[in-house]
C-alpha cells in the first residue's frame, strides 16, 4: 500500500510517498523548513503543503518529535509549547483532508529499522536512538515496540541528557567528534545501567558519521548505525499509519 510518510523535525518537515510492503521510496523527497514558531497551525499548514505537492488523497503517516498518547500530544521539548494537549490527527485531517496517523518520530524510525533494517529478525531487546536536535528513543523486544519512551530526557551531568549529548549540542558547542563521542558514550552507559539492552541502533544525522566516533564507544551492547539512515522516520511513520488506519 502507498502511504505518504512525513517526518516533522526541528529544522525541516520532510515527506515522501512510501510503499509499505517493502519500504521503498516512491518519489523524490520534499523538504520544507520547519516554520518558526512551530505552532500546531503552522506545522499543520506545512503538512498540508506537502500533501498538496504530491496531490495526495490516501492516508498519511506523521513522525512527530513528542510523546503522543491516544492521538494527544503530551510533550513539547523542541516544538512550540502550545502543542501540548493538541489532538494531532484531527488537526492534520482538517488541513490535509486525509486520514492521518501520527507517532513519536523515534518510535517511527525504530519501526522501520525493526522491519527493514538492523532490527530485522532481531528478537532481543533493541533500543533505537535518533540523534539530532534532541535525542529520541524507541524500545523493542521481539520486534514489538513499547511506545513513547523519552530517554533523551534522562538526567546526565545535572543536565537533560539531550542538551549534553545531542547532535545539536555537538554543533552548538563546536565539539570534535572525539569530544562528542565521549559524551555520547557516557549517555549510552547511563542507558546500559538502567536497562541492559542487547543492541543500540543510531539514527539521525550522526548515523552517517558513525565511523568518526565509533572508537569512542565502549558499552557492552552492540552499537550500529541505522541501515535506513535518515529515511527511517518517514518509512516508519508510513508503516505505523498503515497498521493503525487499515
| Contact present, 170 and 138 (Cβ < 8 Å) | no
Does 110 contact ligand BGC by CB under 6 A?
no
Residue 234 DSSP code: H
Binding residues for ligand BGC, total number by CB under 6 A:
15
If residue 199 lies in a helix (H) or strand (E), which one and from where to where? strand 199-203
The interface region with ligand BGC, picked from 15-23, 81-89, 100-108, 120-128 by CB under 6 A, is: 100-108
Distance in Å, CB of 134 to ligand BGC, minimum: 3
Alpha carbon distance 246, 237 (integer Å): 14
**Rule CB under 6 A: which of 133-172 touch ligand BGC?**
134, 136, 150, 152, 162
Distance in Å, CB of 32 to ligand BGC, minimum: 17
- Of the residues 38, 66, 190, 237, which one makes contact with ligand BGC according to CB under 6 A: 66
Does 77 contact ligand BGC by CB under 6 A?
yes
Does 67 contact ligand BGC by CB under 6 A?
yes
Alpha carbon distance 58, 84 (integer Å): 27
**Rule CB under 6 A: which of 6-65 touch ligand BGC?**
65
Does 104 contact ligand BGC by CB under 6 A?
yes
Calculate the CA dihedral of residues 167, 173, 179, 181 and round it to 10 degrees. -10
Q: 77, 231, 97, 216: which is closest to 154 by C-alpha?
A: 77
- Of the residues 3, 15, 102, 105, which one makes contact with ligand BGC according to CB under 6 A: 105
* Intra-chain end-to-end CA distance of the chain, in Å: 10
Alpha carbon distance 182, 143 (integer Å): 29
Does 78 contact ligand BGC by CB under 6 A?
yes
Chain positions contacting ligand BGC, by CB under 6 A? 65-67, 75, 77-78, 104-106, 130, 134, 136, 150, 152, 162
Amino acid at each position: 500500500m502507498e502511504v505518504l510518510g512525513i517526518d516533522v523535525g526541528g529544522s525541516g518537515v520532510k515527506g515522501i510517498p512510501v510503499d509499505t510492503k517493502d519500504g521503498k521510496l516512491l518519489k523524490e523527497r520534499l523538504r520544507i523548513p520547519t516554520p518558526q514558531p512551530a505552532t500546531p497551525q503552522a506545522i499543520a499548514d506545512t503538512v498540508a503543503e506537502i500533501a498538496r505537492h504530491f496531490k495526495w488523497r490516501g492516508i498519511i503517516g506523521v513522525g512527530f518529535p513528542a510523546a503522543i498518547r491516544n492521538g494527544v500530544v503530551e510533550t513539547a521539548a523542541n516544538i512550540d509549547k502550545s502543542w501540548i494537549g493538541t489532538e494531532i490527527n484531527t488537526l492534520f485531517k482538517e488541513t490535509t483532508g486525509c486520514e492521518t496517523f501520527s507517532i513519536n518520530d523515534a518510535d517511527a524510525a525504530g519501526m522501520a529499522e525493526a522491519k527493514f533494517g538492523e532490527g530485522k529478525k532481531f528478537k532481543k531487546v533493541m533500543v533505537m536512538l535518533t540523534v539530532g536536535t534532541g535525542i529520541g528513543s524507541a524500545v523493542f523486544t521481539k520486534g514489538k515496540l513499547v511506545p513513547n519512551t523519552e530517554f533523551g530526557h534522562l538526567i546526565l551531568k545535572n543536565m537533560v541528557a539531550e542538551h549534553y549529548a545531542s547532535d545539536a549540542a555537538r554543533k552548538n558547542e563546536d565539539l570534535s567528534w572525539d569530544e562528542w563521542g565521549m559524551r555520547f558514550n557516557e549517555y549510552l552507559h547511563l542507558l546500559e545501567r538502567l536497562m541492559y539492552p542487547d543492541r543500540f541502533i543510531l539514527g539521525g544525522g550522526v548515523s552517517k558519521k558513525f565511523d568518526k566516533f565509533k572508537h569512542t564507544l565502549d558499552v557492552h551492547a552492540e552499537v550500529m548505525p541505522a541501515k535506513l539512515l535518515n529515511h527511517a522516520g518517514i518509512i516508519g511513520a508510513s508503516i505505523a499509519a498503515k497498521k493503525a488506519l487499515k
